[in-house]
Structure 1
Amino acid sequence: MKKSVLTRYRVLAHVTAVLLVLLTVGVIGKRVLGMDGFDGFVSVVGIAHGWLYVLYLVFAFDLGSKMKMPVGRQLWVLLAGTVPTAAFFVERRVTREAEPLIAKDADTTPATA
């Protein structure tokens, strides 16, 4: 497995998680606190999170299939982008599991001169 597969997953996991936290704060400000200024913010962040979450799903599925994750575990990784802050923790755990696979693959790949 290439390191780029893990890197793109990690980037999207962090971006998706940050956007979801911002969206949650915006919705609380708009709905719970009744603040008028959050309407546009919630719309923009919601759309951005939605589109980037789709890209996160693609990258997470790609990583999970290359790591040969069990289906249940892969579903948890895919759903982590829908729970505020969960993607931070899931990403860290997946990274710890993927790094030895990347190192093992790098050791078995013959060097070209």
Structure 2
Amino acid sequence: MSDPSPDVAGTRPAPVRGKDPAKIPGALLRYRVLAWVTGVWLLLLVVELIVKYGFGVDSLDFVPVVHGWVYFVYLIMAIDLGIRVRWPAAKFVVTLIAGTIPFLSFYVEHIRTREVKAQYGLS
């Protein structure tokens, strides 16, 4: 029987059957773009709520709908990346919630990008 231990250098996880490590850069790029787009729309949502409830102006009613759909696509991209790089459950939850808290999506995107690039030797 073969030994299930990591490769000889012990630096990278053994490849998972059915998962192509060459697809990780594309998944990371999609996640990064959607994290930024979600963060921008979330900031617009905050502004819209301040304008609506602070000043009584109802002119930007489309912002919550757009942010909701962008956040949905962000969830799909984050799940795709997380499955490919095999994130633990806690990292998944924090990453998915990041799109609901202003400025957090930018910070978490930076941290996750740095981790994935270091783990897979991407530049």
* Matched position secondary structure for 2:59: helix
Any runs of at least 4 consecutive aligned residues in structure 1 with deviations exceeding 4 A, and if so which? none
* Pairwise CA distance, 1:33: 2.8
Structure 1: state its 5+ residue gaps. Answer: 105-113
1:82 maps to 100
1:15 maps to 37
1:91 maps to 109
| Aligned-CA RMSD value | 1.6
Which protein is bigger by CA-based radius of gyration?
Answer: 2
**What TM-score comes out, normalization by structure 2 length?**
0.76
* Identical residues among aligned pairs (%): 41
Task: Work out the CA distance in 1 between the residues paired with 2:102 and 2:83.
Answer: 24
Say if 1:9 and 1:59, in contact at 8 Å, map to a contact too. Answer: yes
Task: Work out the CA distance in 2 between the residues paired with 1:29 and 1:54.
Answer: 24
Q: Does 1:49 align with 2:67?
A: yes
Number of equivalences:
101
**What TM-score comes out, normalization by structure 1 length?**
0.82
Task: Work out the CA distance in 2 between the residues paired with 1:63 and 1:98.
Answer: 9
Task: Work out the CA distance in 2 between the residues paired with 1:78 and 1:21.
Answer: 17
1:29 maps to 51
Please give the per-residue CA displacement for 1:4-24, whole angstroms capped at 9, x wherever unaligned. 100000000000000000110
Structure 2: state its 5+ residue gaps. Answer: 1-20
Q: Which has the higher helix share?
A: 1
Task: Work out the CA distance in 2 between the residues paired with 1:45 and 1:4.
Answer: 28
Please give the per-residue CA displacement for 1:69-106, whole angstroms capped at 9, x wherever unaligned. 110111010010000110000000000001123427xx
2:59 maps to 40
Say if 1:21 and 1:84, in contact at 8 Å, map to a contact too. Answer: yes
Task: Work out the CA distance in 2 between the residues paired with 1:40 and 1:65.
Answer: 40
1:87 maps to a residue whose letter is: S
